[in-house]
Structure 1
Amino acid sequence: MPSGLAALLDDVSIIARTAAASVDDIAAAAGRAGSKTAGVVIDDAAVTPSYVTGLSPARELPIIWAIAKGSFKNKLLFLLPGAILLSEFLPAAIIFLLMAGGLFLSYEGAEKVLEKLGGEKHGKTVDDVIEDPAQFEKERISGAIRTDFILSAEIMAITLNELTELTIWWERGIALALVAIAVTVAVYGAVALIVKMDDFGLSLTQRSSELAQAFGRGLVAAMPKLLIALSLIGTVAMLWVGGGILLHGTHELGFHGLYDAAHGLESAVADGLGPAGGFFGWLTYAAISAMVALIVGWIIVFILHKVLGLGHKPGAEGAAH
């Protein structure tokens, strides 16, 4: 009996250690996969503040919370089960989903660049007269959740593509859920801080301390510049990630020319610049990726808007971002 009990306890110990190692593997895989989504996350965080711009400050946090809840639903209720089923029964399709996401990111980034260069804007903007604030707010939330769904799908696809070492479906599910929760909390937590920064600054200007007043005025003055910087960073990140996905995807599908050329130039820069070579090599590849995305995106914009006549016209429902 004692030997049997000892054997049982030993088996339990082995199972416990295996489970602990499995949890560590899942956490590590989730961390690595999450880092690959950085560009999309940056874009998501940069895009979202535009959905509360021009609305009552009292409604900013409720709107962000409504969008965040929609984002959790997008990732955990819709995309997560689909990603698990896909990885189990049709893993070869993941690369095509990634490519579709890369094309979308390229299109969105190129359209933003064209708008900044004076091109036609698509969709209602905050410069338009808001006749029904409640309806406009509802449209803003719906538009944000739709955009989040697409960006979330890309985040989940990128994450899934990085979880090849997790061979059991529930391990992939836990890793995907960890990334989904962490990304959503990080994005919308950061957005909440950003959009309330000016309110916090205004409250500081009411303090008796001259230092607090000066800091508050600085925060208020910095807010417009921060939003502009976020928009720029978001566009660059969108193009960098979209182009990188396209380069990697074409390589995976057997078309190696662009991918090999980009990595060849990256290696040449890295080898020629000594200690700083690693950073500038990465920067070179990111720049090439962004240029590829910009060219592909402009082609898509031309086909959709000029050839097919698709896309929102000014005054259409929804909010441009």
Structure 2
Amino acid sequence: MDLHRTTSSSPSNCLKARLALWLDLIRWNRPAGWLLLLWPTLAALWLAAGGWPGVHLLAVFVAGTVLMRSAGCCVNDVADREFDRHVKRTAQRPVTSGRVSVREALAVGASLALLAFALVLSTTPAAVAWSFVALAVTVAYPFAKRFVAMPQAVLGVAFSLGMPMAFAAVHGGSPDAGPWWSLMPAWAWALWVGNLAWVLAYDTEYAMVDRDDDLKIGIRTSALTLGRADVAAVMGFYGLFLALWGGVGWRLGLGPAYAAGWLGAALQVLWHHRLIRGRSREGCFAAFRANHWVGASLFAGLALDLALHPA
């Protein structure tokens, strides 16, 4: 008897192998994606609550963010499997390489989305309503690059919907709350637009990495649409993001801690310009991967400011 063969094909080892593939499918070892989604969501949660939102809402939004980003990866890899096989960076993704079937990937994604939905059910009906909008945009995004000149804008909407959900979760249970779509104030919508601009900035950096491959394949991205104006546009998106988040912070009377966080984000943006101005794959990818620290700086300054001066 071949003991090695018997051991390697045991049910426990098979399960471990499947789990490893699923973790690769949802990019578990690359947390930058869900961190980019998490920081603006937590900022909105803190602003909606006027400070610490409580353990329950914090747990719901952190876990929900990770789960929905993971579900989105499953849908994205299924939708892009024919494109990804022509791109060196993505050719070995589990669905593209055939190690995970389309049905299996969709089953994993649906299971994760259902878990996220179960978490939202513990909040308010208004947050539940927003979760359906978020799910629809998440599913639509992977197909946008076939029809939309700048699909990164669709991703920006998807990555910003945690913000109105946060306000809905905090205020949606009030007896005098308005309709579910009206619970976020105008100044918070300005932050939402700013966050959309931030997503356009960092996802254009990401698109610049694959520009040559995407051109051959024939899909649409902001890097291709913008052409030689890509670097200037990225910095313009960053500028709008910082202007709106800085302006709203000033309007709300946030103090030195928030200003320090904003300054830290602005200095990182200047560093990103140095990384992307040569349009090298390595520089653009490094800028993209470091973007979550921009969001972390803003959130840290905001959280500290609200802790020192509760609303």
The reply to whether TM is greater than 0.5 is no
Highest relative contact order (Cα 8 Å, sep 6+), 1 or 2?
1
Structure label with greater radius of gyration: 1
TM-score (norm 2): 0.31
